[in-house]
Chain A
């Protein structure tokens, strides 16, 4: 089997507002016990890609805090490596802080190792994909670049602002454009690429000479008119986390176990860092339904259609509905929350009722006492 490097690209992740002011989306809590970056990293691991790296754009601290390289995502911990790649030079120059410049800065990882291909995946687009299938097609077609996409039929409503692909009659990529909601039948870019290592090094050289602020996406778009870029059609679960409403909606959607199994299952687990928390505890009077509850939580009140993260405490007679409560938060007795996202380590004590709307949840900041 050829040696593959998985590259998690955090450069194109979306900012969701206050909830990502101090953290990367990759480090934001997902389903109560994971972070978003666990999903692509587990896709690498489950696809038997041992070596991986993360292109960190900013909020480095949040990523370092979450990633426990010693536990890893790979099958063999010696073969498995996880590098953090960071562009120190351009850390404070937003416009230059691109994935391409990060890769140029950290080119050693491509030069010093004997990887035949790289697989590049984002964190704001979530899906379950065995990259070996893409690599198999890539090798069979003798491709240099393969980009992944999904056909959708509701582009006027869904995946707005996401990139979509213009394909020719032989399914070669001929352009990348943003979905402005003018057409229903479009090919959504998964921002997921298999590229042979030598081609990627070529691209880096090419971009140096062409534009110093080109992103990988810009270059692929630029060269797609003159070079044959192959495409891989993915047909499974795909969501794009563009804003806090997407975060809210698509997290709660996974309470439907039939949808959840399209993203993860016992044969395709999501790996994450352990916090050694005890099992969740349900006290007298607890009424929990249709919810994910993480370990360490202690629940006395009612919880309905919600996600309760690690070590959250919910007091007596409190009612939590349609909400996401991040880890270590305390909710006092007699509190009613509906359509609320409470960030980590907050305390809800004095405010006894908060009701947002499903399409506009209320957000309570990390560590706040209200």
Chain B
């Protein structure tokens, strides 16, 4: 059966800079925003774009992510004509190997793509918090009659050296690409979201696989190669909230953004046209106790708040005891903050129990992680 577009989501990364949060868990499965995991955003974007043929490419610490995503039902990918497949490295007849880079991860799954025989393939990382309708990007590529489309966002010149930077002509065609340049010449950053014409993707991945000097990375190898072959690459300009949550401080900041009225990320979406889907835990509604004080915060179901919560994001089934105080914190599922404990500017990992009267991070300089 012919399919217009199939999506491959890259979810294999370790996310080393998230430290303890990814000790036994991969980055896409890390919690965010009181209810969600990072991967909910890309998968909800796909669902909302009505792209329902999906491969989730996983490698590092897959157990929790596999369990969580299972049949894709949280995002509706268990519907008719939907297809949701977990693509972990596998033993093959000829050889077996771990994914050596993002491009190699897709190359090793070309047989998966073949069964769909799509016209286009969307490749997206699962490291970012954003809402995007990918069909707009696909239509943009069709209208430009290009081979590949990268979504791009305008960043400040100071940040530009952290990203893959695109230089464009007036028609949004990409003239050159430089990965994390020391001296950036533009502020158009690649968001790590690509739509390829299927044939173009297959050809360049097969070529890349034979290249022993390649690091098999989309940014470092594939995009520069396609530009050198005069393929037509376009940048689809994205406007809106887009945050990388690859470090403890950026994860913390992106959580705090939810408490900021001026933030452009709206999870409360009045008309339910673009919801972010996630697991709905079988929890009771949250209970706020007689002496509690909760302000400038978001709190998920199942939590019992008896103490004071100020400017914080509190996940499901947590317990904040009477006399406990948290400020500028992210409290992950099932954590318990006991009486008299005071925590400032911290991420408290799931299932952590904070002892009575313990004071954490009163200097409030850097964000700290409290783990088991």
Q: Which residues of A come within 8 Å of B, CB atoms?
A: 31-33, 255, 257, 260, 264, 266, 269-271, 274, 276, 278-296, 298, 303, 307
A285, B295: Cα distance in complex, Å: 7
- One of B17-25, B83-91, B213-221, B270-278 contacting the partner: B270-278
| A-side contacts of B287, CB under 8 Å | 255, 257, 291-292
Which of B33, B289, B290, B295 contacts A279, CB < 8 Å? B33
| A-side contacts of B35, CB under 8 Å | 278-279, 295
Contacts A279-B299, A281-B298, A285-B295; is A293 near B288 (CB within 8 Å)?
yes
Within 8 A of A (CB), among B246-297: 267-268, 275-278, 280, 282-297
Within the complex, the shortest CB–CB distance from B169 to chain A, in Å, comes to 41
Asked whether, in the complex, the Cβ of A282 is within 8 Å of the Cβ of B286, the reply is: no
Which of B33, B267, B286, B315 contacts A293, CB < 8 Å? B286
Q: How large is the interface on B (under 10, 10 to 19, 20 to 34, 35 or more residues)?
A: 35 or more
Give 3 closest A-B pairs by Cβ, nearest first.
Answer: A274-B280, A279-B34, A279-B300
Whether a CB of chain A sits under 8 angstroms from the CB of B141 is no
Whether a CB of chain A sits under 8 angstroms from the CB of B152 is no
Asked whether, in the complex, the Cβ of B299 is within 8 Å of the Cβ of A257, the reply is: no
Asked whether, in the complex, the Cβ of B280 is within 8 Å of the Cβ of A283, the reply is: no
Contacts A278-B35, A279-B34; is A292 near B285 (CB within 8 Å)?
yes
Within 8 A of A (CB), among B319-372: none
| A-side contacts of B277, CB under 8 Å | 276
A276, B301: Cα distance in complex, Å: 12
Within the complex, the shortest CB–CB distance from B73 to chain A, in Å, comes to 9
Residue of B nearest to A305 (CB): B290
Asked whether, in the complex, the Cβ of A298 is within 8 Å of the Cβ of B268, the reply is: yes
Asked whether, in the complex, the Cβ of A260 is within 8 Å of the Cβ of B284, the reply is: yes
| A-side contacts of B30, CB under 8 Å | none
Asked whether, in the complex, the Cβ of A288 is within 8 Å of the Cβ of B296, the reply is: no
Whether a CB of chain A sits under 8 angstroms from the CB of B304 is yes
Contacts A31-B284, A276-B275, A296-B268; is A282 near B289 (CB within 8 Å)?
no
Asked whether, in the complex, the Cβ of A269 is within 8 Å of the Cβ of B299, the reply is: no
Within the complex, the shortest CB–CB distance from B270 to chain A, in Å, comes to 9
Asked whether, in the complex, the Cβ of B297 is within 8 Å of the Cβ of A282, the reply is: yes
A270, B268: Cα distance in complex, Å: 25
A269-B283, A270-B284 are known contacts; what are 12 more A-B pairs with Cβ within 8 Å?
A: A32-B285, A260-B284, A276-B277, A278-B33, A281-B268, A289-B292, A290-B289, A290-B290, A291-B288, A293-B288, A293-B299, A303-B288
| B-side contacts of A288, CB under 8 Å | 288, 292, 294
Residue of B nearest to A311 (CB): B268
| B-side contacts of A284, CB under 8 Å | 295-296
Which of A257, A260, A282 contacts B298, CB < 8 Å? A282
Residue of B nearest to A257 (CB): B287
Q: Which residues of B come within 8 Å of A, CB atoms?
A: 33-35, 267-268, 275-278, 280, 282-301, 304, 309, 313-315, 317
| A-side contacts of B286, CB under 8 Å | 280, 292-294
| A-side contacts of B315, CB under 8 Å | 279
Asked whether, in the complex, the Cβ of B268 is within 8 Å of the Cβ of A286, the reply is: no
Asked whether, in the complex, the Cβ of A280 is within 8 Å of the Cβ of B268, the reply is: no
| A-side contacts of B268, CB under 8 Å | 278, 281, 296, 298
| A-side contacts of B300, CB under 8 Å | 279-280, 295
Asked whether, in the complex, the Cβ of B296 is within 8 Å of the Cβ of A283, the reply is: yes
Chain A at the B interface: SS class: loop
Asked whether, in the complex, the Cβ of A295 is within 8 Å of the Cβ of B297, the reply is: no
Residue of A nearest to B304 (CB): A257
Residue of A nearest to B266 (CB): A278
A279, B258: Cα distance in complex, Å: 11
Residue of A nearest to B79 (CB): A70
Which of B34, B291, B294 contacts A286, CB < 8 Å? B294
Contacts A276-B280, A278-B35, A283-B295; is A31 near B288 (CB within 8 Å)?
no
Contacts A33-B301, A295-B301; is A282 near B285 (CB within 8 Å)?
no
| A-side contacts of B301, CB under 8 Å | 33, 279, 294-295
| A-side contacts of B293, CB under 8 Å | 287
| A/B interface sample: 30 pairs, CB < 8 A | A31-B284, A31-B285, A33-B284, A33-B301, A264-B284, A269-B282, A271-B282, A276-B278, A276-B280, A278-B33, A278-B35, A279-B313, A280-B300, A281-B268, A282-B296, A282-B309, A283-B295, A285-B295, A287-B295, A289-B291, A290-B288, A290-B290, A291-B287, A291-B288, A292-B285, A294-B285, A295-B300, A296-B268, A298-B268, A307-B285
Within the complex, the shortest CB–CB distance from A217 to chain B, in Å, comes to 32
A266, B302: Cα distance in complex, Å: 9
Residue of A nearest to B316 (CB): A279
Within the complex, the shortest CB–CB distance from A60 to chain B, in Å, comes to 24
Greatest chain A CB density within 10 A among B288, B291, B296, B314 is at B288
Residue of A nearest to B311 (CB): A284
A296, B299: Cα distance in complex, Å: 10
Within the complex, the shortest CB–CB distance from B195 to chain A, in Å, comes to 27
| B-side contacts of A295, CB under 8 Å | 35, 285, 300-301
| B-side contacts of A291, CB under 8 Å | 287-288
Asked whether, in the complex, the Cβ of B294 is within 8 Å of the Cβ of A282, the reply is: yes
| A-side contacts of B295, CB under 8 Å | 282-287
| B-side contacts of A257, CB under 8 Å | 287, 304
| B-side contacts of A282, CB under 8 Å | 294-299, 309
Within the complex, the shortest CB–CB distance from B274 to chain A, in Å, comes to 11
Within the complex, the shortest CB–CB distance from B36 to chain A, in Å, comes to 8
Contacts A257-B304, A260-B284, A298-B268; is A289 near B290 (CB within 8 Å)?
yes
Residue of A nearest to B290 (CB): A290
Within the complex, the shortest CB–CB distance from A77 to chain B, in Å, comes to 10
A270, B284: Cα distance in complex, Å: 8
A289, B309: Cα distance in complex, Å: 12
| B-side contacts of A307, CB under 8 Å | 285
| B-side contacts of A260, CB under 8 Å | 284
Within the complex, the shortest CB–CB distance from B28 to chain A, in Å, comes to 19
A94, B296: Cα distance in complex, Å: 52
Within the complex, the shortest CB–CB distance from A314 to chain B, in Å, comes to 13
Greatest chain B CB density within 10 A among A270, A285, A288, A303 is at A288
A269, B299: Cα distance in complex, Å: 20
Residue of A nearest to B315 (CB): A279
A292, B285: Cα distance in complex, Å: 6
Within the complex, the shortest CB–CB distance from A47 to chain B, in Å, comes to 16
Within the complex, the shortest CB–CB distance from B355 to chain A, in Å, comes to 22
| A-side contacts of B313, CB under 8 Å | 279
Greatest chain B CB density within 10 A among A270, A281, A292 is at A281
